[in-house]
Amino acid sequence: MSGLSLRIRKARALTTLSQAELARRIGVKRSAVTQWEHPAGTTPSVEHLIQIAQETGLSFEWLATGRGPSRCEGADLPPAVLVDDYARDEHESEALAHFRRLSGSRRRMALEILQILGR
């Protein structure tokens, strides 16, 4: 049996979900889950692996590769994306594009100017 198929089966068993219930939650047929858990079966897409990890509360990395802890509970993990770091409109986007083209010393200068203007 492949490692991935075993991990998918284990993830489902740990959360006491039936194949039919996991399939319903993910939006696939039960036969898809059966295939994923079969040693010679098909491999789920990355999107489906993400959904399995979310539904079972297990780590995506562990589910997909077998590496790392299986659960993320209690871990103070930083967010994958810092939403506040992204431009909120076309003006911020344009300013960020210009800022990224600046050398290190000019970036510091531009940042100092913005700090003064922001007061």
As given in the structure block, the two tokens for residue 53 are: 């990890």
As given in the structure block, the two tokens for residue 103 are: 């050398």
Dist. CA 42–CA 57, nearest whole Å: 22
- State yes or no: pLDDT of 1 exceeds 80: no
Whether 47 maps to a domain, the answer reads yes
Compute how many other C-beta atoms are within 10 angstroms of the C-beta atom of residue 21: 15
Task: Taking residues 16-23, report their average pLDDT.
Answer: 93
CATH number at residue 32: 1.10.260.40
Residues 55-110 pLDDT 10s? 888 888 889 888 877 776 555 555 555 556 677 788 888 888 888 888 889 989 99
Q: CA quadruple 85, 91, 97, 102: dihedral positive or negative?
A: negative
Distances (CA, A) of 14 to 58, 60, 83, 85, 110: 10, 15, 32, 37, 53
Range of the domain at 29: 3-65
Dist. CA 55–CA 49, nearest whole Å: 10
Q: What is the pLDDT of residue 76?
A: 56
Please tell me the pTM assigned to this model.
0.58
Whether 30 maps to a domain, the answer reads yes
Residues 32-47 pLDDT 10s? 999 999 989 999 999 9
Q: Name the domain count of the chain.
A: 2
Q: What is the pLDDT of residue 84?
A: 62
Whether 73 maps to a domain, the answer reads no
Whether 71 maps to a domain, the answer reads no
Whether 91 maps to a domain, the answer reads yes
Q: What is the pLDDT of residue 80?
A: 54
Q: What is the pLDDT of residue 71?
A: 75
Q: Answer yes or no: do 12 and 48 share one domain.
A: yes
